[in-house]
């Protein structure tokens, strides 16, 4: 479906939807949440499109599948790109917002957008679908073992709901999150399941959408900083990657920190700033109790390195038809123009 396409008729039929994330763990780059949705009647065809957990696919295959689903008028998709500066700002602010909450908000935002577009996700699972879901879980148990199934892995727990809507990578307690979603979307029934991106093609498709979007964002990222010898050979971006560690060491600055590509709130960054320069400055702000010093100013000290303030001026939602982002320097600031049915807002 193209960006200027009208709302397709199939969205008024009972639909299925999957949500997945990419980039929850890396210390570099954005975190991306992606969703994929289609009519329930298209589910059998969806199963034949060879979607799979994006981690199990080579980059070339992921790119091919992503282009295929973009061209398929029976499939809709959307992404939410969360800039590393926003992640750091929220996790380092005085009233901290943890990664689980950020993830919840992103997923809820995607569900809300899709529902507001008129996509019917309120159909309850049938008894037949419930039995099929149980069979899939039993099959997964036999394949991987009960010990692994019961292991608490925040980034591997999946959530399915409604007509098998699915969400992965939200973090935290699965039952609490199911309750949170059910309260927010009472017309949709949510069911928690592990390995949804391997069990459900609609979630596998969402996994591909999120992963390819993040990979492209990193590939096209333009470093804003003007220091010499900057490069993008940062490896996978995961804390344990030797290339990532070497990149962080090379690009640290004892006053200004890291380039904005880095998530300053990650504990991975802390060891690099043992010798950070102490910064003192005067503030015109009054103390919390309303008092101030004799000259109306007080001295503040930068004791913890990190981003202190960030704001998303434009919600970074991209989608296949009704929502589309036209980005200037997409790897840098994600300054986007929103189009709905081809009309700029």
**Residue-by-residue pLDDT tens, the chain, 345 positions:** 543 457 889 999 999 889 899 999 999 999 999 999 999 999 999 999 988 878 888 999 999 999 999 999 999 999 999 999 999 999 988 899 999 999 999 999 999 999 999 999 865 555 565 566 566 656 655 655 544 334 333 333 334 433 445 555 455 677 887 788 889 998 877 765 677 788 889 889 999 999 999 999 999 998 888 777 888 899 989 989 999 999 999 998 888 888 999 998 898 888 888 878 877 777 665 555 554 455 555 555 544 444 333 334 333 445 554 333 333 334 433 333 222 333 333
What local confidence, expressed as pLDDT, does residue 105 receive? 93
The predicted structure's pLDDT at residue 138: 67
Pick the CATH number of 9-127+165-218 from 3.40.50.720, 3.30.420.10, 3.40.190.10, 1.50.10.100: 3.30.420.10
Q: Tell me how far apart the alpha carbons of residues 318 and 325 are, in angstroms, rounded to a whole number.
A: 5
Per-position DSSP letters for 301-314, written without gaps between them: EE-S-S------SS
Alpha helices in the chain (DSSP H): 43-47, 59-71, 84-92, 99-116, 127-144, 146-149, 174-184, 196-199, 201-219, 242-251
CA distance linking residue 273 with residue 240, whole number of Å: 18
* pLDDT value for 329: 39
- Give residue 272's pLDDT: 85
Q: Which of 78, 83, 82 lies closest to 34, judged by CA?
A: 78
Q: Cβ contacts of residue 282 below 8 Å, gap of 6+?
A: 297, 298, 299, 300
CA 158 to chain centre: 14
pLDDT at 295: 53
What is the per-residue DSSP string for 223-289?
-----TT-----TT--TT-HHHHHHHHHH-BTTTBS-TTB-TTSGGGGGGGTTPPPEEEEE-PPPTT
Domain boundaries, the chain: 9-127+165-218
Closest CA to 110 of 315, 278, 277: 315
- Residue 191 pLDDT: 61
Quick one: which of 249, 254, 264, 245 has its CA closest to 310? 264
Q: Tell how far CA 333 is from the center of its chain.
A: 16
pTM of the model as a whole: 0.72
Q: What are phi and psi of 16, to 5 degrees?
A: -115, 155
CB distance 253 to 280 below 8 Å: no
pLDDT at 188: 78
In which element (H, E) is residue 35 found? strand 31-39
Tokens of 213: 């979007």
Contacts of 24 (CB under 8 A, 6+ apart): 31, 99, 103, 155, 169, 171
Helices 99-116 and 174-184, packing angle to 10 deg: 30
**Whole-number pLDDT of residue 175:** 80
Cβ contacts of 138 within 8 Å, gap of 6 or more:
none
- Please give the structure tokens belonging to residue 38: 């289609």
């Amino acid at each position: 479906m193209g960006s200027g396409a009208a709302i397709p008729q199939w969205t008024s039929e009972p639909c299925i939807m999957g949500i997945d994330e990419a980039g929850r763990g890396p210390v570099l780059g954005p975190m991306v949440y992606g969703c994929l949705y289609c009519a329930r009647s298209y589910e059998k065809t969806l199963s034949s499109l060879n979607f799979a957990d994006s981690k199990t696919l080579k980059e070339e295959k992921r790119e091919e599948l992503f282009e295929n689903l973009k061209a398929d008028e029976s499939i809709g998709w959307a992404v939410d790109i969360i800039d590393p500066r926003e992640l750091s700002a929220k996790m380092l602010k005085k009233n901290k917002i943890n990664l689980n909450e950020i993830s919840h908000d992103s997923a809820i935002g995607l569900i809300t957008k899709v529902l507001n577009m008129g996509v019917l996700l309120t159909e309850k699972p049938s008894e037949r679908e419930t039995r099929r879901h149980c069979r899939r879980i039993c099959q997964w148990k036999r394949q991987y073992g009960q010990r692994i199934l019961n292991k608490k892995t925040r980034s591997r727990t999946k959530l399915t709901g409604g007509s098998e809507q699915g969400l992965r990578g939200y973090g935290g307690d699965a039952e609490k999150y199911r309750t949170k979603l059910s309260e927010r979307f009472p017309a949709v029934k949510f069911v928690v399941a592990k390995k949804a991106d391997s069990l459900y093609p609609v979630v596998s498709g969402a996994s591909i959408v999120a992963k390819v979007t993040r990979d492209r964002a990193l590939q096209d990222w333009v470093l804003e900083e003007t220091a010499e010898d900057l490069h993008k050979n940062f490896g996978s971006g995961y804390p344990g990657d030797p290339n990532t560690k070497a990149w962080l060491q090379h690009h640290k600055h004892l006053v200004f920190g890291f380039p904005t590509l880095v998530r300053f709130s990650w504990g991975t960054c802390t060891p690099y700033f043992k010798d950070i320069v102490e910064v003192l400055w005067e503030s015109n702000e009054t103390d919390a109790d309303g008092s101030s010093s004799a000259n109306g100013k007080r001295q503040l000290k930068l004791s913890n390195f990190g981003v202190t303030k960030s704001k998303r001026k434009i919600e970074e939602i991209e989608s296949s038809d009704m929502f589309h982002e036209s980005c200037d320097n997409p790897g840098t600031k994600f300054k986007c123009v929103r189009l709905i049915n081809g009309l700029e807002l």
